Structure 1
């Protein structure tokens, strides 16, 4: 089993952090995983991508994922304004692949893009990740956690227990991974909103669970195509 996942978003949305949480969850389940972030200037709202490979067998590839099974779009500007290092945003998607876009409303694709996605038999879902983060976590800074919950609900690429353990390790453990100056600032901004780390972890788990439930319902009801 292989799952290659491309995360596309903007600086400050926690795309890099989400990728490491996902990779950590896969390892906790005894799988192999590699995580590769890619971003230019460490500037808020600049394009940012992360690539996560998960497999039962050894993984020898690193770097950019050209042919993903799953594409996670953290901000609608990736689609509507082309704020992405990969254009079009669905480039290389494998047949029968999954696209999850953070948006409260379906986005309009032009006719050529729609036809391409339909020919691929792609599943396109729109998850209100930021709205879920605000409602259940009290901050839009947990959007990346909502996106992870959505990924679990749509694909089951890792189990909920492993994801919970990886999330707790990331935010509540003694070790602190620092991907970049921007990521460190983001972590500090989140932490300041809570009196204790336990509250932060608890809030993120609520966000993860809520997004998972929403996405699972989407998976059960949506056929192939742009929905």
Structure 2
């Protein structure tokens, strides 16, 4: 049986969700993993809901379809909860990382996860991005949080990927 780690990203257009999935994929690839990273969106206007996905494995990935049962769900805009199916297809032990100032208990209730074994983490990724890069780009702090709570990617691998691929774009 093939084994994959599946990640689903939820956000709005211009929040860097597609870029986050790409960065995660690149960092995993640089770490020796097999990866897929792909978006799901149309000609969205700024602020429209967007999803992106990652599939990560130690072995070649032969599956080529949408991620329908993600173990990890990252939500860049908590206002999407209740409007799009952020919990759809998630297993009981799913991990949710949410950009919000609310505490994990409140978010667990909003997600309808009371009584489940899912883990819910929250961080104010908007404020973190404003304070560090001067722009509202919650994707980068969410990537850091993912590295902290998982074993399939390290913060060092993400930083190395940023330095190699994005340093010129964000240098002053």
Q: CA deviation at 1:171?
A: 1.4
After superposing on structure 2, the runs of 4+ consecutive aligned residues of structure 1 that deviate more than 6 Å are none
2:159 counterpart of 1:164: yes
Task: Kindly indicate whether residue 94 of structure 2 is the aligned counterpart of residue 97 of structure 1.
Answer: yes
- 1:65-144 to 2 correspondences below 5 Å: 65-80=67-82, 82=83, 84=84, 87=85, 89-106=86-103, 107=106, 113-115=112-114, 118-119=115-116, 121-141=117-137, 143-144=138-139
User: Within 2, Cα distance between the matches of 1:59 and 1:101?
Assistant: 28
Q: Hey, what's the Cα distance between the residues in 2 that align with 1:139 and 1:16?
A: 17
Instruction: Specify which of 39, 42, 46 is matched with residue 44 of structure 1.
Output: 46
Q: Which runs of 5+ in 1 are unaligned?
A: 174-190, 192-196, 200-227
TM-aligned CA deviation for residue 111 of structure 1: 8.0
TM-score (norm 1): 0.68
Paired residues for 1:59-70 under 5 Å: 59-70=61-72
SS at match of 2:127: helix
Going from structure 1 to structure 2, the CA distance change for 1:112 and 1:131 (only over 3 Å counts) comes to closer
Q: When the two structures are aligned, how many residues end up with a matched partner?
A: 168
**Is there any run of 5+ residues in structure 2 with no aligned partner, and where?**
none
Bigger radius of gyration: 1
Q: Secondary structure at the match of 1:140?
A: coil
Aligned partners of 1:40 and 1:47 also within 8 Å: no
1:154 maps to which of 133, 146, 149? 149
Larger fraction in helix:
1
Task: For residue 46 of structure 1, report the CA deviation from its aligned partner.
Answer: 0.4
Q: TM-score, normalised by structure 2?
A: 0.88
Native 8 Å contact 1:6 1:65 kept in 2: yes
Partner of 1:17: 19
| Deviation (angstroms), 1:57 | 1.1
